[in-house]
Structure 1
Amino acid sequence: MPLHRDGRSLRVLTVNIHKGYSLFNKRFVLHELREAVRAIRSDVVFLQEVRGASEPGARQQQAAQYEFLADSIWKDHAYGRNAVAPRDSYGNAVLSHFPIVHSRNHRLSVERIVPQRGVLHCVVNRDVMPPVHLMCVHLGLLEADRQHQLEALSAVVQAEVPAGEPLIVAGDFNDWRQKADARLRRIGLTEVFRHTHGRHARSFPAAWPLLRLDRIYVRDVKGVRPLPLPRHPWARLSDHAPLAAEIELDSPEASP
């Protein structure tokens, strides 16, 4: 079960679940993924490449993967659809132990880019002030597209997140050239693993991580602590390894 019910710190997990398939689409592993995600005992989970429910009248009815993963553990969840195909749709999702009082999916891509990319913005209420803003992100594969998407993400942060309210931005940034930090630093975001260890975590491919693609950024928090995760069973559950961190928030007494 989630650990931090007083809301003064959050354990967060981010993982690209590859639509529930293992590396190279060899196996459908959604049930194993659910057990692995639950074992981390996170308060908040950021998911990328998660399937939504099939549309009414679809040839094969399919339940939403984020609902299956959240079942009986995380009280609230939100989904932002970014890509639609004749028999498929997928996007980002957030699972939260705390109530999600607001959610909105913002498009980050221009119309010509397929698949579309987006950021799912959620606000959670911890029964203490201020609320926490969560943004689940999946950026594109091409450098030029990512730069456009980072500018759009920065605009969303500046427009939607008041100064002083804690913000966590996590997901698959596909930033193999290590250029995202310079842009996100301008809006006050700090990456947890780079801040602590001096470099981003290796996360792709999960079986033998070489590239540093996945991130957890924070702003207006009291402290951060990256959490080590076991290689197994994650190495056989997706093409991306997950990242986890403990985020310390200001106590209620420190809030305005």
Structure 2
Amino acid sequence: MRYEASGGSATTLSRLRVVSYNIHKGVRGVGPRKRLEIHNLGRAIHGLQADLVCLQEVRLFHAGDARRFDHTHLGWPDQGQADFLAPEGFESVYRTNAVTRQGEHGNALLSRLPVGQVRHHDVSDHRLEQRGLLHVQLQWDGRPLHVVVAHFGLIHGSRVRQARRLGDYLRREVPADEAVLVAGDFNDWSERLDQHLAAAGLLRAQASAGAARVLTFPSRLPLFGLDRMYLRGLRCVALQSPRGPAWARLSDHLPLVAELARA
């Protein structure tokens, strides 16, 4: 599926096309069947023609995978994955959530809008899961827009506490009259997180009242809406997710694609 590009200059768009995508560190499979997908992901992200791309599970580097794929046809990129995936004319912002024995990974934002202040807020709930919020302040149509890229934990109690910490962070760091977009993988299998984020003033993006949830996981047969956007001072005009064998190959998640306007 291909989307038409948004018209106008980056700072004067009346609407924004936004993608949230868990890219599974740019690889698929395990053992001998493990394969490199970062190059295909780059082409796919370019084809979505978004103004903002919010990414989770983004590698800065990984020594083992770099050695494994260095001698393949296209090879492991010399850059961090955020820089590698950024379309021409975009700024990339990356911050690390987790450090492992052979590398590190985190959240990233690819932006066609001018990037201002960047912050990272640790919301790890226990030592086995390192989680963080990437907060990037942008300028859109002469006004601030705060984008938070999130990846919540695997345990429901952890997710509830992370939602509360996100709310506390926004109340402390973002003026109440400025627009906020929170996008990412919320791992909310049981659909119980909306009320906790609503308490922070964030409403889940839907194209219309009562619209069916957009399902993004697993990518081969989507059954769950783990990938979401939550809004403050914005409204969702359209929300969808591309499907098909090509998309299922790239990651275990499908991208979530939204068109947003000021509320």
Taking structure 1 as the reference length, what is the TM-score of the superposition? Answer: 0.87
How far the C-alpha of 1:2 sits from its partner, in A, is 5.1
Cα distance 1:184–1:37, how it changes in 2: closer, same or farther (>3 A)? same
Cα distance 1:99–1:89, how it changes in 2: closer, same or farther (>3 A)? same
| Distance in 1, Cα, partners of 2:256 & 2:235 | 19
Letter in 2 for 1:157: L
Match of 1:72 among 70, 88, 104: 88
Q: Which runs of 5+ in 2 are unaligned?
A: 71-76
| Distance in 2, Cα, partners of 1:78 & 1:178 | 29
How far the C-alpha of 1:81 sits from its partner, in A, is 0.4
Task: Specify the alignment match of 1:39 in structure 2.
Answer: 47
Letter in 2 for 1:97: R
Counterpart of 1:68 in 2: which secondary structure?
Answer: helix
Task: Specify the alignment match of 1:143 in structure 2.
Answer: 156
Cα distance 1:143–1:117, how it changes in 2: closer, same or farther (>3 A)? same
Name the Cα RMSD after superposition: 2.4
Letter in 2 for 1:63: Q
Task: Specify the alignment match of 1:118 in structure 2.
Answer: 132
| Match runs of 1:33-112 below 5 Å | 33-53=41-61, 63-74=79-90, 76-110=91-125, 112=126
| Match runs of 1:154-193 below 5 Å | 154-193=167-206
How far the C-alpha of 1:193 sits from its partner, in A, is 3.0
Counterpart of 1:233 in 2: which secondary structure?
Answer: helix
How far the C-alpha of 1:242 sits from its partner, in A, is 0.8
Task: Specify the alignment match of 2:73 in structure 1.
Answer: none
Deviations 1:137-163 (A, max 9, x none): 000101111111111111112112212
| Distance in 1, Cα, partners of 2:157 & 2:217 | 21
Task: Specify the alignment match of 1:221 in structure 2.
Answer: 234
Taking structure 2 as the reference length, what is the TM-score of the superposition? Answer: 0.85
Cα distance 1:46–1:85, how it changes in 2: closer, same or farther (>3 A)? same
Deviations 1:89-121 (A, max 9, x none): 0000000001110111101114x3323111100
Q: Do 1:23 and 1:238's aligned partners in 2 also have CA atoms closer than 8 Å? A: no
Percentage identity across paired residues of the two chains? 37
Task: Specify the alignment match of 1:254 in structure 2.
Answer: none
How far the C-alpha of 1:199 sits from its partner, in A, is 3.9
Q: Is 2:31 the partner of 1:18?
A: no
Task: Specify the alignment match of 1:3 in structure 2.
Answer: 6
How far the C-alpha of 1:21 sits from its partner, in A, is 1.4
Deviations 1:11-51 (A, max 9, x none): 00000000001355732100000111111100000000000
Q: Do 2:216 and 2:222's aligned partners in 1 also have CA atoms closer than 8 Å? A: yes
Total equivalences in the alignment: 245
How far the C-alpha of 1:88 sits from its partner, in A, is 1.1
How far the C-alpha of 1:249 sits from its partner, in A, is 2.1
Cα distance 1:53–1:228, how it changes in 2: closer, same or farther (>3 A)? closer
| Distance in 2, Cα, partners of 1:196 & 1:247 | 15
How far the C-alpha of 1:195 sits from its partner, in A, is 5.1
